[in-house]
Structure 1
Amino acid sequence: MAQVVVVTGAASGIGAAVARHFGGLGAHVVVADIDKAGGEAVAKEVGGLFVRTDTTREADNLALIATAVETYGGLDLVHLNAGVGDGGGFAEDDYDTERQHRVLAVNLHGVMFGLHAALPALAAHGGGSLVVTSSMAGASAATFDPVYAATKHGVIGLVRSLAPTWQEKGVRINAICPGFVRTSLLPAETVDYLVGEGFAVAQPAEIAASVAEIAAGEEAGRAYVLQAGRAPDPVSFPKFELVRTGA
């Protein structure tokens, strides 16, 4: 039976590449994006279904998952990939509350809404995999966009905190932390600069292949750094034990 795969932010970039990857494997792909024209084009290309989705609205997330289940009878994989950058900094000439709220709404609240909608549906179908797009900025400092970095750190915290409970219900939750990727988040001049400086810039298709590999695995609660030409590299987090009285 063909897999049922939902991908948010799938009208372009990594999301579109993931949709194409699974479409090529014969999956039923549900393409979700706020960009109607782009999303419909990708859905047509992969023989899937487009559902216009504003991930910052909880109702849209619930409707997306409900539509996927009603149309195809279940759910196997959800990739919560939608994201934006440029939350600004904290200097007087770069502090913008509206920009901050937008990045928080898409990158963090949108993921929360997506998790809330998708996790019970995956469990009800007998389990499956959920992958969230974080960033290398979620596992390290990112002075160029601290608000973006904060949301991506938050995404990893969600994944690590939710994974144990939902793994018991058959749902594996993991995060990907891409490095430099040729998407609309990186202007062409930035890509040219990075390549000129000798940095590797991945193609979205390469990231999509890694998403498929992670989704098919047995691990849960992991965050994987994805860089051009390298296998998924799990992030090592420190382990702490609570101090007991008298210890």
Structure 2
Amino acid sequence: MIAALPMYARPETAGATARLWTAIRDALGEGPERLTEAGDLRALWEAPDLLLAQTCGLPYRARLADRVALVGTPDFGLPGCAPGWYRSVYVTRADGPDDLDALPAPRLAVNEALSQSGWAAPAAHFAATGRSFGAVTITGAHAASAAAVAEGAADLAALDAQTWRLIARHDPVAQGLKVIGATPPSPGLPLITARGDDAARIARAVAAGIAALSPDDRAALDLRGLVAIPSAVYLAQPAAPPLPAA
């Protein structure tokens, strides 16, 4: 069996994440002793022996919904969002404009094309307001997008609000950045298991594991609990447009 929680992994929270998994495993009564270090995420998410992993809303609806079972969605208590929902925050350089409208066609740093927070949400938001991006650069990670903006290689990045919360808490790059807006909320990053596994039983174990965390570990991970967001809600989100040609 495989279990992995890669989406918000940071060295500063590795201990709390390991203890979370131990608590979930104890509640389940089975599972690997340690979390798998994620490499190829698509292979991880589609592994036939997957017990538990976290994915992003866009890969879930674009590729995984009919291949995996939905367990639930962690709630990080993000401002302006319903439990289990999240949004992207727009960051620019600390010495840049305070208003998103002051960047008429910003150069956008994107972690990857199959990212709800980094690409799909800002693309839908800009299209709804009749705006467009200038050049789009793929960086490979939200942290790299933040660095690209701080270094002047891009004007704007749309970062998962929980990722930004962790960057602001732990990463010196945040000192060179500021938030100038946010996208509308969408369903947060869901937990999945292999199709055929008892997702409801796993969800109960995840909820019990979160509840068993110490206050310090819960605060380090910003976890409030587990929410049941139906698959249909994920599938109803707007499709992501293709990235502009380089």
Q: Same-fold call, TM > 0.5?
A: no
Q: Relative to total residues, which structure has the larger helix share, 1 or 2?
A: 1
Per the normalisation by structure 2, the TM-score is 0.33
Q: Flag the structure with higher strand content.
A: 2
Could you state the TM-score of these two structures normalised by the residue count of structure 1? Answer: 0.33
Query: Which of the pair has the greater relative contact order for Cα pairs under 8 Å at 6+ separation?
Result: 2
